[in-house]
Amino acid sequence: MEGERKGTTEQGAAGLDGAIGQDTMERQAAADPEEDISGKKEETGMFESIYDRLPDISIKSLDRFIVLCVVVLVMVILVGVLKARHLL
């Protein structure tokens, strides 16, 4: 019961303070990226955590790239072997 009351009170408080809180939240949201960037700069030096510095890559596009590289590898070996056997 107390827990429910607390929950209702909290909800009510959230609703009442919503408008006032929004300004504060917007200011915080503006401040946070700056903190994040400076935090990141402190954590990672140049060339460290290289994967973190890459642009957002989807796993699907990376999979396609890997498959492409494997296909090219197989073709390079195949061409090398065919040329060695004077078939190309």
Asked if residues 65 and 57 have their Cβ atoms less than 8 Å apart, the reply is no
Asked if residues 82 and 88 have their Cβ atoms less than 8 Å apart, the reply is yes
Cβ neighbours for 49, distance < 8 A, ≥ 6 positions apart: 43
Residue number with CB closer to other proteins (25 or 71): 71
- Which residues of the chain form contacts with other proteins (CB under 8 A)? 43, 45-51, 54, 57, 59, 62-63, 65-66, 69-70, 72-74, 76-77, 79-81, 83-85
Residue number with CB closer to other proteins (6 or 65): 65
Provide, rounded to whole angstroms, the least separation between the CB of residue 74 and other proteins: 8
